[in-house]
Amino acid sequence: MKILAIETSCDETAVAVVEDGYRVLANLVSSQVEAHKVFGGVVPEIASRKHLEIINHLLAEAVAQAEITFADVDAVAVTYGPGLVGALLVGVSAAKALALALGVPLIAVNHLMGHIYANFLAYPELKFPFVCLVVSGGHTDLVLARDHGDFAILGRTRDDAAGEAFDKVARLLGLGYPGGPAIDNLARQGNPEAIVFPRAFLGDGNLDFSFSGLKTAVMNCVRREGEKFSPADIAASFQKAVVDVLVEKAFQAVERAGVKTLLIAGGVAANSYLRQRLAAEAPEKGVEVKLLPLELCTDNAAMIGCAAYFKYCRQDFAPLSLNAVPDLVLGEERY
């Protein structure tokens, strides 16, 4: 069973063909980084236009790379939220047109659920239950997965997501866009103990996140003491403050949920220091940590196709009236 999947939630146009949930026949991603770099971040209007320019080409190329025809497609899957509304609409419109033309089911996938299901592509033997730390540009969530279609939110960000904080601090330090990899690289040259930035734990047992205060503290440090500390020390100290909170709360979530497996997902899951800390602390916690391959951390359509397969198995299809839902949250289906 072959699913043609489309992902256009932000600034990467992605199309994939996934067979039987796990076998990736094609996985194409067209990045818009160069187009947005000059603005220091994603410009929604430009993102939408870039998706329009490349989507049809990627669809044709994905089918060719998978060595199938459109007639071989059994279902069309698409990210319908959360994300930039204009960007999402490009993918949703293309998917609806294809599903109608081919006479196959349309499957609507939550972008964050796609990130979680990227783990099934890397670890096909993965068993429930588990906790997943989803850390991306706009989201920081702790999710308990009990079974396919049975997910519960244990904690989420109350303001800035970890990825947003990375991007904003990178701009403060003049590192450009995207900020996550730039901070990660610069931090390797710095002293993570040079500056003690605040950590927002929000009270005992609270699994929510907050990074806006940390971002403000870094901004004040750069403006008032920028000459006292090197950019590398600021980057390293900031990164440690973020990762300290992510790691502590992730292991707290695993303990509270009574599970033994911790997964990570999303763009920030590629951060080398986060991966190092999780792997180092897992044995003493008695937790199995599974780290995603870097190519599956960032936005791609293969993860959407994988998530869609299990919705297909439940006959969980979307109507052709499907619309983009930019503020969609995990555990909430809105067609």
Q: Using CA atoms, how far apart are residues 3 and 312, in angstroms rounded to an integer?
A: 9
Co-location of 164 and 30 in the same domain: no
Q: Report the amino acid identity of residue 327.
A: D
* Residue 325 forms part of a structural domain: no
Co-location of 99 and 162 in the same domain: no
- Contact residues for 242 (Cβ-Cβ < 8 A; gap 6+): 162, 165, 166, 211, 214
Co-location of 161 and 264 in the same domain: yes
What is the average pLDDT across 307-330? 95
Co-location of 46 and 132 in the same domain: no
* Residue 80 forms part of a structural domain: yes
Residues 266 and 10 sit within 8 Å (Cβ to Cβ): no
CATH number of 142's domain? 3.30.420.40
pTM: 0.93
* E strand or H helix that includes residue 237: helix 231-257
Question: How many angstroms separate the Cα of 12 from the Cα of each of 78, 147, 158?
Answer: 14, 29, 26
Co-location of 91 and 224 in the same domain: no
Strand 23-31 vs strand 12-19: parallel, antiparallel, or unpaired? antiparallel
- Is a pLDDT exceeding 70 seen at residue 335? no
Co-location of 26 and 109 in the same domain: yes
- Helices (DSSP H) in 67-190: which residue ranges? 85-102, 111-122, 162-172, 179-187
* Residue 145 forms part of a structural domain: yes
* Residue 14 forms part of a structural domain: yes
Co-location of 111 and 201 in the same domain: no
Residues 156 and 208 sit within 8 Å (Cβ to Cβ): yes
* Residue 327 forms part of a structural domain: no
* Residue 170 forms part of a structural domain: yes
Per-residue pLDDT of 40-87, as tens digits, reads 788 888 989 999 999 999 999 999 999 999 999 999 999 999 999 999
- Is a pLDDT exceeding 70 seen at residue 125? yes
Co-location of 264 and 152 in the same domain: yes
Q: Report the amino acid identity of residue 186.
A: L
Q: Using CA atoms, how far apart are residues 36 and 246, in angstroms rounded to an integer?
A: 28
* Residue 334 forms part of a structural domain: no
Co-location of 108 and 69 in the same domain: yes
What is the average pLDDT across 284-299? 95
- Contact residues for 89 (Cβ-Cβ < 8 A; gap 6+): 48, 324
Co-location of 303 and 268 in the same domain: no
Quote the percentage of the chain above a pLDDT of 90: 84
Co-location of 151 and 275 in the same domain: yes
* Residue 122 forms part of a structural domain: no
Q: What's the structural domain count of the chain?
A: 2
Co-location of 168 and 276 in the same domain: yes
Query: Residue for token digits 């998978």?
Result: 66
- Is a pLDDT exceeding 70 seen at residue 281? yes
Domain, as residue range, for 185: 128-292
* End-to-end alpha carbon distance in the chain: 24
Cβ density class 101-119: b for 16+ within 10 Å, e for less: ebebbbbbbbbbbbbbbbb
Residues 37 and 179 sit within 8 Å (Cβ to Cβ): no
